[in-house]
Structure 1
């Protein structure tokens, strides 16, 4: 079984911070989520009828 590595700095992971090696790397990852560095692509348009009905409370 190979040892897991931290997705931020690629050092061996620490079981206390898994999948990261340290609190620092875990915080770096969280910061990336907060500032929008990690995004999931969406193909839905802002003016999609189905989406607008949901937000208007009609769906």
Structure 2
């Protein structure tokens, strides 16, 4: 009898390629390339978390 767990796979959020969860240094992405593409999308504001634009923030107004 083996105690090996089944390999968990999932689609990469960037390219949708089926990839392994265990021993994947770029998880949840399939590769460093997909990870960097996603980071670039956040940096260029193609991704955003919705919020109330009128909500008070940490900005000080004089």
TM range (shorter): 0.5 to 0.7
Higher helix share: 1
Match of 1:10 in 2: 16
| 1:2-59 per-position Cα deviation (integer Å, ceiling 9, x unaligned) | 62110111112251211011110000000000000111122242xx6xx378624xxx
Q: CA RMSD in A?
A: 2.8
- 1:42-53 → structure 2 map (5 Å cutoff): 42-45=51-54, 51=56
Query: Can you give the 5+ residue segments of structure 1 that lack an aligned partner in the other structure?
Result: none
Runs of 4+ off more than 3 Å: none
- TM-score, L = length of structure 2: 0.64
Structure 2: gaps (5+ residues): 1-5
Aligned to 1:31: 40
Pick the structure with more strand per residue. Answer: 2
Aligned length: 53
